[in-house]
Amino acid sequence: MTDADFNFLRRLLHLRSGLSLSLEKRYLAESRLGILCRRRGIDGIETLVEQLRQGNNTALEHTVVEAMTTNETLFFRDNTPFDLFRNVILPEKLASNAATRSLRIWCAAVSTGQEAYSLAMILDEMAPRIAGWKVQIIGTDISAEVLERARSGLYSQFEIQRGLPIQMLLKHFQQNGDKWQVSERLRAMVELKEHNLLESNSHLGQFDVIFCRNVLIYFDVPTKAKVLGLLAPRLAPEGAVVLGAAETVIGISTTIVPDAKHRGLYRDRHSAKAQAASMSLSVEPRLAQGGARF
């Protein structure tokens, strides 16, 4: 691959998906796009780039983006975000949404679906407490291919072994040939849609919880700011955002800010201010009572 072709691909990927492809990832582009060329009967990457340069093949551009997008995921990945969901976010939402009895969750960059189905399993555990509630889990991804895999709910033995507790496997999966399939009940809880995080998302509505994990790490700072800026209006009042362990909003966003008490959890700035004020009010009386002791 020539330098000119690689730089063209870098610009195209950034424009279409926000992906920031460093110079060190040239080998990755050559490997993945080489496979793509062989699958589609294209002579080589030079010919592929020549077709892309013509600028009239949106389908091919989309295929290249899919080939270059990382879709690494697993069930209950990193554990901490799911503990936050179970022990912090859900109790908050059960209290604050008691009047509407509704809960909307967005898994952005859902990939092959393990994150969305992990959340569905946690909600299934709490079925008695949310009986009569309208619960929606919306999973989106830029890749139509991985969304089809997610819809099928079919996973290999290797994928099942990565993070899924045995009791969850026995309760929520059935063996299907040499694979395991998520139960129909759980699949019905998850709605999957194609969506690019760089594009308008107003059609998705507002969410009480947004999981957007391990995707910002692939973007440069301006693109991270754009994505966070698009996420913020989708967050319902007193909603929660969960990012990946290696991700932060500090120095990037002023609309979504860290939660005062829980690492990895983020709020819109207005909710965060209200939370801080509430904590301050609860502390001040105790300080006043104890002041005479000093």
DSSP secondary structure letters along 111-125: TTSHHHHHHHHHHHH
Cα distance between residue 207 and residue 190, in whole Å:
14
Contacts 24+ apart (CB under 8 A), 201-206: 201/230, 201/231, 201/234, 202/233, 204/106, 204/138, 204/140, 204/234, 205/104, 205/234, 206/104, 206/233, 206/234, 206/235, 206/236, 206/239
Tell me if 68 sits within 8 A of 45, measured CB to CB. Answer: no
Tokens of 23: 């110079």
The one catalytic residue among 5, 141, 259, 268: 141
Residues 115 and 103: their CA atoms lie apart, in Å, by 17
Cα three-residue angle 211-215-217, rounded to 5 degrees: 130
Task: Please indicate whether residue 38 is annotated as part of the active site.
Answer: no
Active site residue 104: no
Question: Cα Rg for the chain, rounded, in angstroms?
Answer: 22
Enter the DSSP assignment of 75: T
Question: Angle between the 144-152 and 58-68 helix axes, to the nearest 10 degrees?
Answer: 60
CA nearest 213: which of 189, 246, 181?
A: 246
Q: Position of tokens 């139960």?
A: 183
Selecting among 16, 32, 149, 151, the annotated active-site residue is 32
AA letter at 65: V
For residue 233, which of 195, 264, 206, 197 has the smallest C-alpha distance? 206
Which residues are designated catalytic? 32, 141
